Amino acid sequence: MRYFAGTNFRMSRYPLSHAVVLGGSIAGLFAARVLSDHFAHVTIIERDGPFPAPEPRKGVPQGNHVHVLLARGRMIADALLPGLSDELLTLGAVQLNAGRDFAWHYAGGWRAQHDDGLVFLSMSRPLLESQIAKRIRALANVTVLNDVRIAGPLSGGSRITGVRVTQTGRSAQASEVEADLVVDATGRGSATPQWLAELGFPEPPRDLVGARVAYTSCTFHRGRDRSNHRALLVSGKPSRRNGVIFPIEGDRWLVGLQGFFDDPMPRDREDFQAYARSLAVPDLYEMIRDCEPLSEVKQYRFAGSLRHRYEQLSRLPEGLIVLGDAVCSFNPVYGQGMTVSALEAEILGGMLVRAKAEGGLSPDFARRWFKSIEPVIDAAWTGVLVEDFWLPELAEQRPLHLRPMQWYMDHVQRATHRSALATNQFYRVINFLDPPAKLFGPRMIAEVILAGFGGSGGNSASQKTPLRQPIHTSRAD
């Protein structure tokens, strides 16, 4: 590992010289992009090899499964990497209008649909990540070290000064990489809590919401028919089974089935069809019934949402921050993780602008970092709590203060069955375009009350446009 020996990134005209990002997945890549504006050099350390093709990789086993980049996440990605969406479309991603091309059956009803102008891109996770990685690699002051594993922190007193690394698969001696800032983006398995304990710092308290979810996914041939530019999601109580179908590059459908706790999941293609048929509505099954499967059935088990409360620590080392799933990994059925990573990158950018103006990173940068990202994580975390605590297995752990919120959100959900306005507002909030407070605004409350009285929601848009063409009546076959 001579690469590191004697490397000196210090350049006097930059107050900030070298940042090291641990983990080169979505959170690490977004962070590296932002850091590259403020540090003379950024090094990403990733234990997997480089992407030869946009295919699932070992370090990100969730890559086989449906990944939705929410609208706000896409907007940030395009701001950080101009032209990214166009590149993804050229590579086969499919643009969908949330209110028109996306049908969502939730808790016994279809959400009202109308053309709301809220667009998102549908593609495989590996396509998204590999294209972002390609753009980051092209940045002049970013180096990506692949096949390199982080072995531990370098520390001096109360400061993290870099990391020790080894080449993956070799027993070579560890090398040292020094840095002014270490950014841990190694995902759910992050070693930072353990490092803190080893260095004599307190470990962050952990919150676990133990809604275990099993994912099973398979790709199918989709064909080039434009009428297949649509997606469908079946979810919500009382059913404990979810199903999702999205068009992805390569003229494929990516179909995901999700079951909670110990629901027996399909292991082969035959079981897969049977499980799809058992969903609350037949639409997804009917879409894939006659399609040719293109992959084996892939599985993933998620052990529950996990949040490390770094913001509650009284003592933190200087020179180390944590982001992405390493701080909080959310129940993936709500599709929030990548967008939260993007929002965190945006916050990091703002903090680095201020740091630069102040002439460098202040000693309490890490403490301020965890406080700054807390509201974003809170917003996503609350969404997880409201939904997951409906599960009877978690009933005894349900916090009392959550009940009024669950009651109200239940009525919001019902309103979305009747009112396009309610659906649109709901979509804007879950896409991080509007703050959650918008769900409690006067117009939304009016929709909720009307839905409670069995009214139509009084929404002319929803009356003019057919709310939803049942997917099976518009099938291309």
Ligand X SMILES: Cc1cc2nc3c(=O)[nH]c(=O)nc-3n(C[C@H](O)[C@H](O)[C@H](O)COP(=O)(O)OP(=O)(O)OC[C@H]3O[C@@H](n4cnc5c(N)ncnc54)[C@H](O)[C@@H]3O)c2cc1C
Taking the complex as a whole, the smallest distance from the CB of residue 244 to ligand X amounts, in Å, to: 9
Count of C-beta atoms within a 10 Å radius of residue 466? 10
CB 78 within 8 A of CB 113: no
CA distances from 23 to 128, 187, 300, 395 (A): 16, 8, 20, 36
Taking the complex as a whole, the smallest distance from the CB of residue 73 to ligand X amounts, in Å, to: 6
Cα separation, 214 vs 191, in Å, equals: 25
Taking the complex as a whole, the smallest distance from the CB of residue 302 to ligand X amounts, in Å, to: 5
CB 104 within 8 A of CB 125: no
CB 309 within 8 A of CB 329: no
Taking the complex as a whole, the smallest distance from the CB of residue 325 to ligand X amounts, in Å, to: 4
DSSP bridge pairs for 300: 215
Single-letter amino acid code for the residue at 183: V
Q: Is the dihedral of CA 16, 22, 23, 27 positive or negative?
A: negative
| Cα–Cα nearest to 380, from 70, 121, 97, 96 | 70
* Both tokens assigned to 209: 């919401």
Q: Indicate the DSSP class of residue 392.
A: G
Q: What residues line the site for ligand X (CB under 6 A)?
A: 23-28, 45-48, 59-60, 62, 65-68, 149-150, 185-189, 215, 300, 302, 324-326, 332, 335-339, 341
CA distances from 246 to 217, 253, 284, 336 (A): 11, 6, 10, 17
Measure the CA angle with vertex 321, ends 319 and 324; round to 5°.
160
Taking the complex as a whole, the smallest distance from the CB of residue 86 to ligand X amounts, in Å, to: 21
Taking the complex as a whole, the smallest distance from the CB of residue 27 to ligand X amounts, in Å, to: 3
Nearer to ligand X, 167 or 463 (CB): 167
Taking the complex as a whole, the smallest distance from the CB of residue 307 to ligand X amounts, in Å, to: 13
Nearer to ligand X, 104 or 417 (CB): 104
CA distances from 86 to 81, 94, 113, 147, 346 (A): 11, 11, 26, 30, 21
